[in-house]
Structure 1
Amino acid sequence: MKIAVIDAQGAGLGQNIIKRIRKEIDNDVYIIALGTNSFATSKMVQAGANVGISGERAISSFCKTTKIDSIIGPIGIICSGGINGEITTMISNAIFNMDCTKYILPLQNHGIYIPGTRNLQIKDIIEEIVLDIKNNIENF
């Protein structure tokens, strides 16, 4: 199973997701770190991603040409200008058009509020994503 984890800035969320996947699933998945900057990418690779890809053009090209099973990231990844402007229109469109499961973490940032999510903790959301991946891994 191939999973991409995308994050920006310091990739704190991306690191946590990758560490949790490695702890729970480990070798049954191949993780690609997609960082909008090289610092974010390197932090996710240090957390356990198999490979890292950095920058707008490289991420967009990856999304358009590589078949993966799922992508995980904060809600800002599908919004042009998301994550303090690090998600460009090119990146958000490429992610949105991918033919895979998109696990979107409903962070209360970017002026976006998703009703019903206010009581969710990030660790619980990540746990739910990892559980779903574990349940689906048998299909791959």
Structure 2
Amino acid sequence: MVIDGQGGGIGATVIKGLRESMGNDLSILALGTNSIATSRMMKAGANRGATGENAIVRTSQTVDVIIGPLAILMANSMMGEVTPQTASAVSSSDAKKILIPLTQEKVTIVGISEEPLPHLVDRVVKIIVEMKKDV
């Protein structure tokens, strides 16, 4: 499951990277905090998509992996698009979380080097490829 909000650019970039690397061997769910984000992720190659708090809350409890920006764990982030319920559901999910350390919030992550999004997406793809091999 890939979660994104606002314009959906991070999620779309992740999905595109996964598709380029793994083809259709992977079922990708796109969950957007708004319809624009969901639509953009669907166009990038997600198999299915849904929008909004309830979709994210329900689906996050049934998936094996959640990928998204760090902000998906932070209540009221993304200009309020990530609700407290959404952040709680994602953080308490048993799914493995692969978080991209990009945030526009007033948060500084110490020990993380700033890298461009394409480099971070490459790392996400490598993690998923390795996980798929171990299954």
The TM-score normalised by the length of structure 1 is: 0.91
The answer to whether 1:107 aligns with 2:102 is: yes
| Aligned-residue offset at 1:117 | 2.1
Per-residue CA deviations over 1:14-42 (Å, capped at 9, x if unaligned) read 11000000001122210000001112111
2:67 alignment partner in structure 1 = 72
User: How many residues are treated as equivalent by the alignment?
Assistant: 135
Q: Percent identity of the aligned residues?
A: 38
**In 2, Cα distance between equivalents of 1:93 and 1:36:** 14
Moved over 4 A (4+): none
Among 13, 24, 29, the alignment partner of 1:27 is 24
Pairing 1:6-21 to 2, within 5 Å after superposition: 6-21=3-18
Per-residue CA deviations over 1:32-60 (Å, capped at 9, x if unaligned) read 00001112111111110000011111211
Gaps of at least 5 residues in structure 2 are none
Q: Give RMSD over aligned pairs.
A: 1.2
Per-residue CA deviations over 1:96-115 (Å, capped at 9, x if unaligned) read 11112101111142111112
Among 35, 46, 50, the alignment partner of 2:47 is 50
Among 121, 125, 135, the alignment partner of 2:130 is 135
Gaps of at least 5 residues in structure 1 are none
1:71 alignment partner AA: I
1:94 alignment partner in structure 2 = 89
2:119 alignment partner in structure 1 = 124
The TM-score normalised by the length of structure 2 is: 0.94
| Aligned-residue offset at 1:95 | 0.4
